Amino acid sequence: MRYINKIIVHCSATPECREVSVDTIRSWHLDRGWSDIGYHYVIQLNGDINKGRDILIQGAHVRGQNKDSIGICYIGGMDSQMVNPKDTRTIQQTDALLSLLKELKCEHPDAIIYGHRDFSAKACPSFDATEEYKEISNGKL
């Protein structure tokens, strides 16, 4: 088992209300020359949680932070015109993400939850994940 001290939340940077499959994201990442999808989990608009890269394998989702982290991506994160970042999480995605974060925190008690933007000059995941999930990070499940 890998030692995990970070759970990093991402968005797919796709327009609100447009579904994108795990296989599509995998193809985007393979086209970049990666060995697989960079995320360990992808949360669909309807709240379904799809597995991406095997959790035992280091992800490819934040440069310099992959060794000891788990990457979760929700579909969306941009307005419908693809102009501005926007928190587009559906109620189902919000519930599924919360549930998954609690589960992963139980499995990896040292993990702190971050947004991709905490490590890069990006808007991703289009909301402040560190602030929103600080109670989970602090062990208050």
Active site residue 10: yes
Active site residue 108: no
Active site residue 39: yes
Beta bridge partners of 6: 69, 112
Residue among 29, 61, 105, 116 flagged as catalytic: 116
Residue among 41, 105, 114, 124 flagged as catalytic: 124
Active site residue 116: yes
> How far from 64 is each of 34, 40, 131, CA to CA, in Å?
15, 16, 22
Active site residue 17: no
Is 11 in contact with 119 (CB distance < 8 Å)? no
Beta bridge partners of 113: 7
Residue among 6, 10, 40, 108 flagged as catalytic: 10
DSSP conformational letter for 66: -
Residue among 6, 11, 29, 39 flagged as catalytic: 39
Residues annotated as catalytic are 10, 39, 116, 122, 124
